[in-house]
Amino acid sequence: MKKRIWSVLLCVTLALSLTIPAFAVYRDVPASHWASEDIQYVTERGLFKGTGSDTFGPSEKMSRAMLATVLYRYAGSPTVSETAPYVDVTAGAWYMPGVAWAYQNQIFAGVNLSRTMLYPNEDVRRAEFCVMLYNFAKALGKAGSGPAAVNQSPFTDMDWNRFSMAGFGPLFNEAEEAMLGWAWPMGIMHGTTDTTIDPLGTITRAEVATMLARFDLNVLGTVQPLPVLNQTPAPTETLPTTISEESIQAALADLKTAYPDGTVYSTPYHSTSNGPYSRGIHCSGWATLCSDAAFGDLPWQRIDHPRWDQIRPGDLVEYKNPDFYHVVVVVKKTDEYISVTESGNHNKALWGGQYFKWWLEEQPQYVLYTRYPS
């Protein structure tokens, strides 16, 4: 009886933990923070990481080296020859690949491309990051400025004299095109008031997160393949001709290597397998990704209230209660429980969870999705 009570508490605790709002992952970003939704978005999509396991540092300023690295990772961290003409960029520095990539792809503002000093640790102004993001969009073939929008903007602090007196005169023309002709009409950068856009304000991590989220949604439409930890769709051409529990467990082991416990995986995951989950987010996105990696394009079969002997590694087990549904991927099965991988808070891959046979069979809506050939 005591064992059964502890099992109930374990299952209830796990279920509750999976429904905690994603904001709770960063203790310095409450739900009331102005950028909380954008910070949640970029974290779930893998575009931007926190400063620690439970902190984001929304008010921290960002340097030129940091921003080059952020965009370099967004581009997929491509192989690059680490050469750039900057005498103040140390060979082997943590930011060297990002700086070299930004220079070679002309991501930096023109003034930084023409000089031999980059000042990699200098805090970057809002106008300069906007220019970098605009150049990134151009490199992707996704930019188109609107000259008419420059004259339509209501911002009174976007003038050459202000830039010149602050020592940023060479940046002004690029900034005007990027901010007023592109970022503002595209909804990527908003004004700080109805009449100001604060082009020379030092940009913070929260502002960068917000601009990246808007760029991802408004410019790329979230369809651009993201370079987050090597998303692993199924290698259908290399699947064994005979599906076995051993081959599925091996595929899941490979997936665990690619996505260790606590790893944030990118969403939405869009499957071409015509499976039961089309949105590709949260637990269903992770479950579908795992299933595709193991089974490729094999068809799906739904079994309501399955018998315990029908459950095998790689199968998806879904249960529902009045408040939410949750789906897990079976990694191992014993006579008493299944060991699973599932999505935790903030789209993190979790491994090693357990669900007991008696508990699952008591759920009013308990479903098995399998892709083993009949």
Q: Hey, is 117 helix, strand or coil?
A: coil
CB 150 within 8 A of CB 180: yes
Confidence of residue 232 (pLDDT cuts 50, 70, 90): very low
Query: Are 52 and 194 members of one domain?
Result: yes
Query: Are 34 and 137 members of one domain?
Result: yes
pLDDT at 267: 67
β-partners of residue 328 are 317
Q: How far apart are CA 67 and CA 39, in angstroms?
A: 16
Where is the domain boundary, 192, 218, 244? 218
For 161-170, the CB contacts below 8 A with 24+ separation are: 162/199, 162/200, 163/127, 163/199, 163/200, 166/200, 168/125, 168/127, 168/200, 170/110, 170/111
HSE of 175, CA atoms in CB hemisphere, 13 A = 24
Confidence of residue 322 (pLDDT cuts 50, 70, 90): low
- For the residues 200-220, what does the mean pLDDT come to? 92
Q: How far apart are CA 282 and CA 278, in angstroms?
A: 12
Residue 285: inside a domain: yes
Q: How far apart are the first and last CA of the chain?
A: 39
- For the residues 291-313, what does the mean pLDDT come to? 90
CATH of the domain at 295: 3.90.1720
Instruction: Return the higher-pLDDT residue of 347 and 257.
Output: 257
Residue 24 has pLDDT above 80, yes or no: no
Q: How far is CA 63 from CA 202, 211, 339, 342, in A?
A: 9, 16, 44, 36
- For the residues 70-74, what does the mean pLDDT come to? 91
Residue 3: inside a domain: no
pLDDT at 345: 64
pLDDT at 268: 72
Residue 223: inside a domain: no
Query: Are 63 and 187 members of one domain?
Result: yes
- For the residues 78-98, what does the mean pLDDT come to? 89
- Provide the Cα torsion 315, 320, 324, 327; round to 10°: 0
Confidence of residue 293 (pLDDT cuts 50, 70, 90): confident
Residue 175: inside a domain: yes
Q: How far apart are CA 226 and CA 12, in angstroms?
A: 34
pLDDT at 55: 92
pLDDT at 2: 32
- For the residues 200-221, what does the mean pLDDT come to? 91
DSSP state of 352: E
Query: Are 169 and 260 members of one domain?
Result: no
Please, which residues have CB within 8 angstroms of residue 266's CB and are 6 or more apart in sequence?
A: 44, 45, 46, 226, 228, 229, 231
58: Cα separation from own chain's centroid? 17
Residue 224 has pLDDT above 50, yes or no: no
Classify strands 316-320 and 325-333 as parallel, antiparallel or unpaired. Answer: antiparallel
Where is the domain boundary, 183, 218, 253? 218
pTM: 0.56
Confidence of residue 6 (pLDDT cuts 50, 70, 90): very low
Query: Are 59 and 138 members of one domain?
Result: yes
Classify strands 337-343 and 316-320 as parallel, antiparallel or unpaired. Answer: unpaired
pLDDT at 244: 86
Confidence of residue 323 (pLDDT cuts 50, 70, 90): low
Residue 295 has pLDDT above 90, yes or no: no
Strand order in the sheet with 316-320: 301-304, 365-370, 316-320, 325-333, 337-343, 349-356
Q: How far apart are CA 69 and CA 81, in angstroms?
A: 15
Residue 20 has pLDDT above 70, yes or no: no
Confidence of residue 147 (pLDDT cuts 50, 70, 90): low
CB 89 within 8 A of CB 123: no
Please, which residues have CB within 8 angstroms of residue 309's CB and are 6 or more apart in sequence?
A: none
- For the residues 196-215, what does the mean pLDDT come to? 95
Number of structural domains found in the chain: 2
Q: How far apart are CA 23 and CA 33, in angstroms?
A: 10
R_g (Cα) of the chain, nearest Å: 24
Where is the domain boundary, 157, 191, 218? 218
Question: What is the domain extent for residue 189?
Answer: 26-218
Query: Are 150 and 272 members of one domain?
Result: no
Question: Over the chain, what is the mean pLDDT?
Answer: 82
Instruction: Return the higher-pLDDT residue of 114 and 229.
Output: 114
